[in-house]
Amino acid sequence: MTDASATQKGSVRVRFAPSPTGYLHVGGARTALFNWLFARKERGTMILRIEDTDAERNKPELVTGIIEGLKWLGVSWDEGPYYQSQRTELYREMAKKCLANGSAFRCYCPPEKYVGGDHAEEGAEDAKVRRVARCTCRDGKPSSPETKPALRFKVPAGGTTKFFDAVFGGREFSNDEIKDFVLLRSGKEGEEFGQAMYQMSVVADDIDMRITHVIRGADHISNTPKQVLLYRALGAEPPVFAHVPLILGPDKSRLSKRHGATDVNVYRREGFLPEAFRNFLALLGWAAGGDEEFFRTKELVEKFSLDGVSRTNGVFDRAKLEWFNTQYLQKLPIEDLLPQVEEQLKQDGLWKEEWAAGAGREWFSRTVDLLRPRVRLLPDFGSWSRAFFSDEFTIDPAAKAKFWKDEKVPILLAKLAEALAGLTEWNHDACDHASRKVAEEAGVKAGLLINATRVAIVGQAVAPPLFDTMVVLGQERVVRRLRAVVIGFAK
RNA sequence: GGCGCUAUGGUGCAACGGUUAGCACGCGGCCCUUUCAAGGCCGAAAUACGGGUUCGAUUCCCGUUAGCGCUACCA
């Protein structure tokens, strides 16, 4: 359902245009992702543009968080980043073009006394003719010629402005409802005009960058007719718009800090996998059309389309995000997971160089593979499964209380330690047989011994199957840990 | 207030005039079991309301209600 007049394949150009707030908001992240998916799907060009025209906060370092977040998410760009703060001349030129061709005017009204925008009281008998008020400046009658003027767009009287939205369909707005918006702020001492306003700079850039599809948040729907008017005034053809619904918090209000993290990098630091986060985000407000919801990046690109985008705002559901993460933790090719675990262990100070290659790498791979079904977030590798990577770990008191309460546990563990020490072969079955034999001879259920042993060798009540764990830990460590526990009991 | 957008279980999505309204998360139960997950099976749970149009509406139209957005010389 995309506009037929839009583009030939290959010429698609889209952009992600955040303002530098210091971090990448999950809503922005999804907009960026949709732009990126669309660009890849259409073999087009993705552009990153920083909208930093706000004079006050205009620090380049505020952009780093956004770029970091995008990179983590796997969203790349072919051009940019461009900075609007470095393109101000373009905006003024385009604005002056509007002044020259009569589609803009100098407005001398002091901002606080501007009368336009309010509803005029015309047509008393018929409510339908309500329209926005216009100030006299637009008709060449300066309200107070001594003040420095701003440049305002002269919205046509009457008529409507239409545009095509690939998500919401054809839209039409009455011009009489659109106020004469400011293109250029009034200037300081020497200059004629000041900084360009948002509507002016986006349109100028989108024209200049030959953007074909504007994919952005639905909060811009109401801005769109103004921008379309500007395109026309500048003699340019408007692009196809695609407004993406907003992301809400659990209470259905717009997602904000009080709902928890809105910064993508917080999720990165919490240990979510980018693959999982991306899949989750893609499905918030978009569906391929069927019941499938597991998509690797490649499939996402293949299946993405603008008319699969929903028109309803969606709630950010952290529980589902976590579910996606556990799924990816289990299903990701192990070689894609390993580097991420490695990074985590480095952060935790548990990493050993011997795991980087060769036999050490193999061991590392087997161990991560064993652990992954029970991990929820990356940091779990260094915390609850710490005993797999370090001899320095503590035994969880709750685990002791749960599995060491039987009085036979000390003697059982002592016997097991010696049985295992005597093993000449160290593999799953050997450990299994030796352990069950100890339990049998002591006349207890194998489960009692198995659970108690798990606590002794990994310090946790929750861990992978015991005999697999033993194999990975190795005979020496298992026996040593058991003996240490037995000595502890004796004291 | 004005203008606009939206409306399927608690949540995310399917069904784009004809289905016993489907899937997933979450929730409850059962199975499996060596802890905990995973996995398997079962269950509770939805078309906001009211009018039309139609042989037939979740689907199309109108109204109501609700939520959200915009309403700056912010972006």
Q: What is the pLDDT of residues A1-22, one digit of tens each?
A: 344 444 455 599 999 999 998 8
Q: Do residues A31 and A244 touch, judged by C-beta distance below 8 A?
A: yes
Assess whether A130 (CB) lies less than 7 A from strand B: yes
- Look at the pTM and tell me if it is higher than 0.95: no
Strand partners, A119: A132
Using pLDDT thresholds of 50, 70 and 90, give the confidence band for residue A67.
Answer: very high
Determine the average pLDDT of the residues in A128-134. 71
Strand B: positions under 7 A of a protein C-beta atom: 2-8, 10-15, 22-26, 34-39, 67-75
The predicted structure's pLDDT at residue A62: 85
Assess whether A311 (CB) lies less than 7 A from strand B: yes
Q: Which amino acid is at A472?
A: V
Based on C-alpha coordinates, what's the Rg of chain A? Answer: 32
Provide the 8-state DSSP code for A255. P
Q: CA end-to-end span of chain A, whole Å?
A: 77
* Residue A310 clears pLDDT 80, i.e. is over it: yes
CA→C1' distance for A201 and B2 (Å): 27
Assess whether A101 (CB) lies less than 7 A from strand B: no
Alpha carbon separation from A417 to A40, A243, A372, A473 (Å, rounded)? 58, 65, 27, 14
The predicted structure's pLDDT at residue A110: 86
The predicted structure's pLDDT at residue A197: 94
CA→C1' distance for A179 and B73 (Å): 14
The predicted structure's pLDDT at residue A58: 64
Assess whether A432 (CB) lies less than 7 A from strand B: yes
Q: Is A257 a catalytic residue?
A: yes
DSSP string, A59-122: -GGGGHHHHHHHHHHT---SEEEEEGGG-HHHHHHHHHHHHHTTSEEEE-S-GGG--TTSBP--
